[in-house]
Each structure stands twice: as structure tokens, then as C-alpha cells.
Structure 1
């Protein structure tokens, strides 16, 4: 505990009770907020468990809570990813899971404690919001505060930007999000149809059809290896260990529906591209309020069968097959599926502002850019 004057304290998370406070603080801060989507409490606790989360094999963490007059008013997580620092040849401290009341003192004390710890560990820069890997939520919302968040992203109040910039942080890179209307089957763009058909004939690609989750899991490691390869050159990505690959497969497979996975194989049946989407769980998670029981599990199952908004989560193409139409083919296939199931809209989830290629593909559907997220940077 670090006691500050005027009733302020910074406390390090040291036990299960502190961790529960850390995880549950946003539920209090965003209670009944129409656009905030709470994660599952059990999942959040597991993220910070060295026993359950294999990222701890290559990371150090420190969690801080801010208190004013014995009431919790803020939180922040510090992560030193040794595997990321080795990849980028830097001494960088990541911050994530930052939440606070609208009080500059709260943010100042949280970042001061975080940066002091980072300096003690030899770090010279700090970036965030980021997680252990790029599969954790990334980026602070700076546009789109009146838009519903997705399961894969963070929501925050508009005042966060002022709090973090007052602490000396500046823009490093932004990510954009798009919403598009799903066309009826008869209204799928003709240019997309013709391009996909030409690609399929030209390269003899094969769309993989999975009969059940077991079949999908049989190619799961192949798919997650392709995720690792596809994202290797993007900012902030971290190579996954074998244990992490298994961890993420087990974590996300229960939510995946085979109809909304699109995968492409070459003539030798090698996986060369994938696209993972799923029905939005945002409203279900709001109803669950962080808990699977007694009704949260039922809300989630119901949402997986409610075809209104389709969320795009992960996509990748093997390096040697890029610019050879694999992405066009997958977009065509998922568009047909979304139209068949009667989805009204799709959500892109964050895409780096520098990723012009994927943004050009969205233009086929006249997208509405409705959110912007920012990763910040500071020398410490």
C-alpha cells in the first residue's frame, strides 16, 4: 500500500480478494451503461492466473488499484512481455485494463505507480492499452461512444482520453472499426461474385466444409499457426507458444459455430486462409453482467442462435498466397452465409488504420466507420 495525502492510496493486487476487486471494478463504474459490454468475471480472473494463463511463462505483471477514502476509484495492469521485447528489440512496458473515475488524481497515481515499477524493471517506454498478446483487447476508444461495444473490445468513457494525455501519453497508432449492412442474397455485389468465381477457378482453391466442431478442432492447431504467421508483421503482435495456442483454442472453441468459419485449402489440402466470425454476444453479455450462472450461460446460448449482427474476429492468409484472391473468396463465402441466415449487419472489430487493403475490401459494402481506438506511447 502506498498512502498519499488527502485520502488517496495506491494498492498492489496481492491476493484473490484484491484480484476480484480489480476485475469487478468496471461493473460498478459502468453499471447499466447502454454501450458497455462486461466480460465474464471467471475469464478475467483466469487471465491473471499464472497457473491458467501460459502467457506468464514470458511475461511479468503488476496490478494496481487506486482508492480514495477507502473506495476503489481506478485500476491498471502493467505487463512486461519479454517475448515481445525480444521481437521488437525494445524495453517496453505495456499497460492495460485501465479504468478510472473522472478524476485526474486517480489516473496520475495509477500511471505513476505503473511507470515506477516499469523503471525498476529496466523499461524505458510504455504503450497501451494492450494485453499479453494481440488476442487480448487492445486500444482505447476515442470515437464511437454511442455505439455498442463487441465482446472482443474495450469500452471507455470519453474522459479517458483527457486523463491519459494529461499523464504525458501521445498517439502511437489507431485502429478503426466498421459496420456494414448485410445484403440480401440477390443483392450481393456482382463484382464480388465474379471475382470470387474467377479466383476459385484460377487457383483451384477449395472451401473447407466442417461437419462439426470436432472436425474443426482437428485443424485447429493448423489454423492457430496460421494466425501466428498472418499477424507476425502487424504492430504489437506477439509470437504464441505451443501452450498459448492450446489455451486459446480451448478458450474460444466453445463459442465458435462451424457455419461461420470460412477456411480455404490449396490443391494439396494445406490450410492457406481462414476467417472466423460469430453472432454478436454483446447483448447477452450485458444481461449476464459478468456471470455465467444462473442465467448467463442461457443468454449466451440464445445469442448464438440470434442472427442479427455478425461479428468478424480473426482472419489471415498464408504469406505466399497473399494477393492471390484468398481473402476475396472468403469474404464472398461469409457474405452468402450471412445473407442466408438473415443477418442485418456485420461488425469488423478493430483494424489498424494502416491496413488499407482490408479497408478497401469493406468498401464493396458501403461501410459506416463508427469507432476509432488508440494505442498510446510514452518514454518513461
Structure 2
């Protein structure tokens, strides 16, 4: 077992080995964020599944190593180091590419622990032949990318990260520089959108070529395949893009199925062809935050009750896409506004929603930024992905 030390042997960093180490890796954030009112404890079972080969299909195309930092025998930090072989095959100009590895899931009591962990992750990546790091990613670019640098004063929505604000300085002190910024937009949805947007939506609703429909959960697999096709096409030229495999879409579909309400996920058809989609999820973090990540003894019942019919639920739009052949056209923005409005109406009337969040959005995605600003939404959270040459 390889180890590294920093500061006269005060801190040791070693690979996770065995169940006890994995338990310690999973449990650490619950202690570090115990007094942070805005941290939402993840369900331990979900974190364990994320980190388990054979359960998370990310391991089918990635090498992953977890590390723990200890001081005097006590766990003081953790980090993951990983190489996504699908990412290695992507063009360099899209952010990933040959020789690019990643680390993520960083949590540390203090700067010395963080520095030792990052150094060990970098060493592991170099030993695997990597010459560049893009981080933090936990684990995939599709999971929780980036470090929270703006928005620590409110809780994250479903499937979003929350990090100690000290981490930014600790990471940057090791020579990491901004590669990309990811932002989320917050908007009030009760009053509806500006008159111009309403006119664009009304015009589209009169167009017989356009159909905006909700997904059919009775055909869940087929609908998931349709969304995957649009997503892989729509995002294929985006910075950081890595294709989603069939097994990953099945895995994500299984995980999201309890959160899926068919009237909150829209598919846009043009002349009978599915050309765009928008996925909206009720913010289950509202409940998970209250049960503190514990399903037992009563958390499970409370969670199931809420999932059955979310009430007063804030909404998050984590994903949307329009086929490349329509991008940069007026039709693309019209379809986006129509799907947003269709979901807004349902969210307000059926689920009692008053606010929603759109993101992540790349800071140079001018099309999505224009759409977000047109409906009077404001940036409320920012995440940074860093770059460093080894």
C-alpha cells in the first residue's frame, strides 16, 4: 500500500481498503458539515452505490481510486482520483482528451489535509500516465461537476453540490486555474414570463408543426432512449462532453424514476420528430434536508409520502437539449420557451411551486444564457472546474 505524508509525518494519505475505510470515506462529510445549515446530507446508500463497481456503470469505462487522509489515526480528509476512458477519447479542444485525469469528492478538515490529498491524487494520475488534471468532478462530468464558489448562503437543489468556501483558496494555491464556470439561474414562476416570451409561446402553440408533450411513463425505457438520443446529439460539441452509455442511462433512469413526474418532463416534436426535451425535477432536497439523510426509522416514510405527490416543491431544470440541426435557430429558442412555459404552468397549478432553478449552464453558452435572462432569472450559484498540468 502506497502512502504519502506531509508535515513530519503528521498527515498520512492512503488508498481506501476495505469496508471500514469506505464507511469512513462516506461518513466524513456528515461530521465536517454538521453545523452548516445549508448542507444537505446525501442518502448514505446512494453514496455507497455511486462508489461501488458493479452498481455504478461509470466503473465500466473508468479507473477510480479513493484516498483517506489521517492525522494521529483520525480521518481528516478524503478525495477520489479517476480516469474516464471515454473522456480520454474526446477532442482536446472540448476540454477533456488524451492524458486528462480527474479528482473529486474532496473534503478536508484543514488546508494541510487538503494539500496532502490533492498531491496524492495528482501522484496517482501521473503514475497512470496522465499529464493534466480537470477537477473537481465527483465522479463523472454528469454527476456533480465543479466547486461551489458562489451561493454558499442557501441550500443546493437536488443533485447539486455544496462545499466549504475555504476550498477555493486551498485548491488555487496548488496552481489550479479556472477552466470553466458553471452557473445556475433562479427565477420566480408564479406570475409568468414577460409579454415578449408569452407572444413567442402563443405563436408556437398555433403552429401545427410543433407539439409539446409530456413523457409517457408507461413507455419509460423508450422515452429515456429518445431523451438520450437528443442529449448526446445536442451536447456533443459542448465543452466537457462525454457520451452517456446505454447502461448509464438505464442506471440514471432507475435512480430518477421515483422523482419523475411525467408532466414535468417535456419532449418537443417538430413535424412528428422528437427534436428537443426539458427535464424538470421536484427538489427532493427539501425533504432530505429535514430527515438529515437518514431513512430510518421515520425518514423513509416521510420521503415516500412526499415523492408520491410533491407539494410546495421548488423545481430544478438540470437538463435540456435541442438537436444540433436546429441550434442557433429561432425555432430552437421558441421550443425552449414553450417547454419552459408548459412546465411552469404545471409546476404552479399542480405542485404549488413558486420558484425554479435552471442549471448548470456553461458560462459561454450564449444561447442558454440568453434564454435564462429573457425570462428574468438571475444567477444564484456558480461552480468552477479547474485545470492544471502535471
Is the TM-score greater than 0.5?
A: yes
> What is the 5 A alignment of 1:53-132?
53-88=56-91, 89-101=97-109, 103-132=110-139
Tell me what 1:355 maps to. Answer: 365
Tell me what 2:348 maps to. Answer: 339
Report whether the alignment pairs 1:7 with 2:10.
yes
Q: Secondary structure at 1:112's aligned position in 2? A: helix
> What is the 5 A alignment of 1:179-218?
179-184=186-191, 187-202=192-207, 204-210=209-215, 213-218=217-222
Q: Is the 8 A contact 2:105 2:139 kept in 1?
A: no
Q: Name structure 1 gaps, 5 residues minimum.
A: none
Report whether the alignment pairs 1:147 with 2:154.
yes
Structure 1 CA distance, aligned partners of 2:315 and 2:260? 12
Report whether the alignment pairs 1:314 with 2:319.
yes
Q: Secondary structure at 2:190's aligned position in 1? A: coil
Tell me what 2:298 maps to. Answer: 295
1:55 to partner: Cα distance: 1.6
1:364 to partner: Cα distance: 3.1
Any idea what the Cα deviations from partners look like across 1:9-54, whole Å, max 9, x if unmatched? 1121121221121112111110142111122211111112111112
Tell me what 1:243 maps to. Answer: 247
Structure 2 CA distance, aligned partners of 1:306 and 1:256? 14
TM-score using structure 2 length:
0.91
Q: Is the 8 A contact 2:224 2:249 kept in 1?
A: no
Structure 2 CA distance, aligned partners of 1:23 and 1:165? 25
Alpha-carbon distance change, 232 to 265 in structure 1, aligned in 2, over 3 angstroms:
same
Instruction: Report the more deviating stretch, 297-306 or 36-45.
Output: 297-306
> What is the 5 A alignment of 1:359-378?
359-378=369-388
Q: Is the 8 A contact 2:212 2:269 kept in 1?
A: yes
Q: Number of matched residues?
A: 375
Moved over 3 A (4+): 200-203, 215-218, 301-304
- Cα RMSD of the aligned pairs, angstroms, is 1.9
Structure 1 CA distance, aligned partners of 2:9 and 2:139? 34
Among 179, 182, 190, which residue is 1:172 paired with? Answer: 179
Alpha-carbon distance change, 302 to 192 in structure 1, aligned in 2, over 3 angstroms:
farther
Q: Is the 8 A contact 1:216 1:258 kept in 2?
A: no
Alpha-carbon distance change, 292 to 272 in structure 1, aligned in 2, over 3 angstroms:
farther
Q: Name structure 2 gaps, 5 residues minimum.
A: 92-96
